[in-house]
Amino acid sequence: MAAGVATWLPFARAAAVGWLPLAKKIMPKPPVDKKSRNDEILFVNVSGLRFQTWKNTLDRYPDTLLGSSEKEFFYNEDTQEYFFDRDPEMFRHILNFYRTGKLHYPRQECIQAFDEELAFYGIVPDIIGDCCMEEYRDRKKENQERLAEDTEAENATDTPLPPHSTSRERLWRAFENPHTSTMALVFYYVTGFFIAVSVIANVVETVPCRPPKGSKKDLPCGEKYTLAFFCMDTACVLIFTFEYLMRLFAAPSRCKFMRSVMSVIDVVAIMPYYIGLVMPENEDVSGAFVTLRVFRVFRIFKFSRHSQGLRILGYTLKSCASELGFLLFSLTMAIIIFATVMFYAEKGTKGTNFTSIPASFWYTIVTMTTLGYGDMVPNTIAGKIFGSICSLSGVLVIALPVPVIVSNFSRIYHQNQRADKMRAQQKVRLARIRLAKKGTTNAFLHYKEEGGFQDRDSDNALCLKNRSSFEHQHHHLLHCLEKTTNHEFTDELTFSEMCMTESVGYRTSRSTSISSQQGVSTSCCPRRGKRRAIRLANSTVSVSRGSIQELDTLQVHKTSAGPQSRSSLNARTEDLKLNCEDRDFTAAIISIPTPPANTPDESLPPSPAIPGILRNSRSTFFTHETVKISSL
Amino acid sequence: TSRAPKKQILKSSNDNYCNSSDSDLELSTVRHQPEGLEQLQAQTKFTKKELQSLYRGFKNECPSGLVDEETFKTIYSQFFPQGDATTYAHFLFNAFDLDRNGSIRFEDFVIGLSVLLRGSVTEKLNWAFNLYDINKDGYITKEEMLLIMKSIYDMMGRYTYPSVRDEAPSEHVEKFFQKMDRNRDGVVTIEEFIETCQKDEEVTRHTWDQ
């Protein structure tokens, strides 16, 4: 409810006294506010910036975070304030919303950051005030467009094919993305070449050539070198037919393919030839045959497969269909009006060109588009007056929809350019992602190779090896999985080596403990069934520093250790000292420091990692890790 | 257990830009606020501070208060870069999502954690059984176990030593059933499961002392 309404509620309730004398039944008892407190000032600390506000102010909107009991989760007993680890600048706007009832969108902020803050505080963006709503929506739309394109670029079909694709799928892919294979590229260029040849042939065959001996008249080249042109035409049509049939065969959905624009163009490009073959050399139908040859010019549209710009143009026209329609409609209206007027104005003149209204259409169009051929001119005064009005209005009517079309084209063109840039960068990005993934795995393998699981009595420092507690725990998790399945992680290189040397039974040197267990895979778990012993005769990867004040990273482990892992889930703090003694490897990566005595400062229990990895404020390595993981 | 009514703010779903370029963008969120601290304290074995800390992390990652399956899968997969953790994450998600409504709320999350971290042996075994019992009918069949097993082996990925053979999961399942299925009826019931695990030294050795 709006702030105003909530404030006036006591007044409305007090005014209900007026109903008392009239009531038919007994009035219900008023609700007892159990926890009614006098209004107090609350302190809200957002990343160090302290805000103070009345409690009532926040209570105005009970379905948001600050207005409900949800804020109790963020209450800090010691400092008696609510602490939020969020952006203090944005919080100003959020708090203003509670105070004034209107949410404003700060123009200099990033739209996504703003949205995230709103989501965190539980405020629905719909209540942005009218003053800022438009700007907000525009920015949001723009952002969403960009994101949609990004995801499209990511799913771009430059991704490698799934391993088991049929030849049909591969063929289709080769057609759609010529850069994927050299064969496709060759085919792409060949078809392009033949389209060009065909179009040029069409054009050249109408050029007048020198007449053959004994004739005075100039002959078009087409008729002089009939055979040559016919052969060229046949070759082109053969190629086009072949291409069309191959595409038809490879298309995943043939019906959809046949309805698509490009395939229609393909058909129209090759049909005249076949019809010409089939049709007899008859005088009557040869007229129609000639018309059919006009359709051969449609071959030029086949270039749109080869040219991005053409496609953009076509797409722009399609998206501006409504504007174009409006233009056409208004033009038609104006033409009819002016043609009628001109016709009647010039009717009286002798020998006038304006013989009928349809004849006047031509004059109107030529005048409105400011062409002015001069083959039809008005003679009467009235005709001239209306003629001038016609040309003036023509400029206006045509100029109106054009900017819309232009802006559309510009937007689409820019989008396309960005998409291309994204595609180019995508390769780099994919490589980076793969590197990050490998980094994590390599860290684990590296750790194993260095005998991380060896029994260590001596140097505690060695166990640490400069890794954050997060890394420790993550490695532990991976190790538990290894133990569950009794297989080890390796990297690609060693894997391929092993594949080659498997028959020889050659074992690469691994950490001894593990390899020794490998051999006894069948016997190592005689009575355990599913659960592999996570027991290691060697050290634990017990979590980092001796005094774990706050283990923020919490990885709950289900399967790998099963029942026996539960034990150390209850591990007490002292158990988690860095000892490299013989312990069961348990899934307990959670250490909840039970007595505060162990923890010098504010011991905060582990925060969940299932929804994500929380910050371990002490681990400087952490942010690096998060970056690594989040880039996956 | 009686729960206070959850506050849910549901609006129409986000309209895809491509569908309605001109019409207003539906700005929406599905939000969920958790029950109060006191109620959660009563339902779980966490202290107030622990709950606060858990919630802060949860809320940071999921401001809407709900984790849907896709997000869960993405997050879980990040821990196993070499393999494919999505199938297993799916089973895990169902184990956490107690009321099977497709999203994990903070309460589900915290209750699950409470069982896993602070629960008794029996409770934890119950939880594990619930995880394996995919259709939650009280019996673990070989097919269910095989699915779980395969999903675990999937997480290992391709590059393992020795390389995972195709029969590895089913062999593993056979061993499991040999051990667990006392009356050889082809299914493992909760009693067989708990009984067998409790007899298992590994389990009991470190879970007795709590």
Q: Per residue in B62-101, pLDDT tens?
A: 788 888 888 888 888 888 888 888 998 899 888 888 788 8
What confidence score (pLDDT) does residue A154 get? 63
Region A192-210: mean pLDDT is: 86
**Matching residue, tokens 């219900």:** A28
B200·A530 Cβ contact <8 A: no
A259: which 2 tokens? Answer: 């309805």
Set of chain B residues whose Cβ sits within 8 Å of the Cβ of A499? 163
* CB of B206 closer than 8 Å to CB of A564: yes
Cα-Cα end-to-end distance for chain A: 42
Distance CA A611, CA A632 (A): 15
What phi, psi does A510 have (nearest 5°)? -130, 175
Q: Which residues contact B42 (CB under 8 A, 6 or more apart)?
A: none
b/e for B113-137, b at 16 or more Cβ within 10 A?
bbbbbbbebeebbbbbbbbbbbeee
- Residue B24: inside a domain, yes or no? no
3-state DSSP assignment of residue A219: strand
Confidence of residue A341 (pLDDT cuts 50, 70, 90): very high
- Residue B86: inside a domain, yes or no? no
Strands A49-54 and A41-46: antiparallel
- Residue B199: inside a domain, yes or no? yes
* ipTM value greater than 0.90: no
- Residue B159: inside a domain, yes or no? yes
Q: Give the DSSP H or E segment for B122.
A: helix B121-132
Residue B173 lies in domain: 121-209
- Residue B177: inside a domain, yes or no? yes
**Residue A364: pLDDT above 50?**
yes
* CB of A265 closer than 8 Å to CB of A302: yes
A611·B61 Cβ contact <8 A: yes
**Residue A25: pLDDT above 70?**
yes
A564·B207 Cβ contact <8 A: yes
Distance CA A409, CA A402 (A): 11
* Three-state secondary structure string covering A494-553: HHHHHHHHCCCCCCCCCCHHHHHHHHCCCCCCCCCCCCCCCECCCCCCCCCCCCCCCCCC
- Residue B82: inside a domain, yes or no? no
Confidence of residue A452 (pLDDT cuts 50, 70, 90): low
DSSP, res A591: -
A83-97, A125-139, A465-479: which has the minimum mean pLDDT? A465-479
B59·A73 Cβ contact <8 A: yes
Q: What pLDDT, in 10s, does the model give residues A532-551?
A: 333 333 333 333 333 333 33
A121-130, A383-392, A455-464, A607-616: which has the minimum mean pLDDT? A607-616
Distance CA B153, CA B169 (A): 7
B82·A116 Cβ contact <8 A: no
A137: which 2 tokens? Answer: 């929506």
* CB of A247 closer than 8 Å to CB of A257: yes
Set of chain B residues whose Cβ sits within 8 Å of the Cβ of A487? 153, 156, 160-164, 168
Distance CA A229, CA A208 (A): 14
DSSP, res B6: P
What confidence score (pLDDT) does residue A456 get? 44
What confidence score (pLDDT) does residue B203 get? 56
- Residue B23: inside a domain, yes or no? no
Reading chain B (210 residues) residue by residue, the pLDDT tens digits are: 333 334 343 333 333 333 333 334 444 456 788 888 888 888 888 888 888 888 888 887 778 888 888 888 888 888 888 888 899 889 988 888 878 888 888 888 888 888 888 888 888 888 888 888 888 888 888 888 889 888 888 888 888 887 788 888 888 888 888 888 888 888 888 888 888 888 876 655 444 333
Residue of B nearest to A499 (CA): B163
Supply the CATH number for residue B148's domain: 1.10.238.10
What confidence score (pLDDT) does residue A302 get? 85
What confidence score (pLDDT) does residue A160 get? 59
Q: What pLDDT, in 10s, does the model give residues A223-271?
A: 778 888 889 889 999 999 999 998 888 888 888 888 888 888 888 888 8
**Residue A388: pLDDT above 90?**
yes
Set of chain A residues whose Cβ sits within 8 Å of the Cβ of B109? 608, 610-611
B9·A68 Cβ contact <8 A: no
Q: Which residues contact B187 (CB under 8 A, 6 or more apart)?
A: B139, B140, B141, B142, B181
**Matching residue, tokens 């191959």:** A246
CA distance A204 to chain B (A): 45
What confidence score (pLDDT) does residue A271 get? 85
A488 DSSP β-pair partners: B161
B103: number of Cβ within 10 Å: 19
Q: Looking at per-residue confidence, does A502 or A573 come out higher?
A: A502
The predicted model scores a pTM of 0.54
Best of A448, A558, A572 to mutate (most B CBs within 10 Å, chain B): A558
B113·A569 Cβ contact <8 A: no
Distance CA A553, CA A471 (A): 10
What confidence score (pLDDT) does residue A332 get? 92
What confidence score (pLDDT) does residue A616 get? 36
Question: Could you say which of B52, B77, B163 has the minimum Cβ distance to residue A73?
Answer: B52
What total number of domains does chain B contain?
1
Q: What pLDDT, in 10s, does the model give residues A276-333?
A: 777 766 666 666 767 777 788 888 888 888 887 888 888 888 888 888 888 889 889 9
A610·B157 Cβ contact <8 A: no
What confidence score (pLDDT) does residue A161 get? 60
B179·A120 Cβ contact <8 A: no
Question: Could you say which of B28, B116, B202 has the minimum Cβ distance to residue A528?
Answer: B202
3-state DSSP assignment of residue A54: strand
Residue of A nearest to B195 (CA): A563
What confidence score (pLDDT) does residue A459 get? 47
What confidence score (pLDDT) does residue A375 get? 92
Q: Looking at per-residue confidence, does A278 or A46 come out higher?
A: A46
Question: Could you say which of B76, B80, B117 has the minimum Cβ distance to residue A569?
Answer: B117
**Residue A114: pLDDT above 80?**
yes
Q: Looking at per-residue confidence, does A565 or A202 come out higher?
A: A202
- Residue B100: inside a domain, yes or no? no
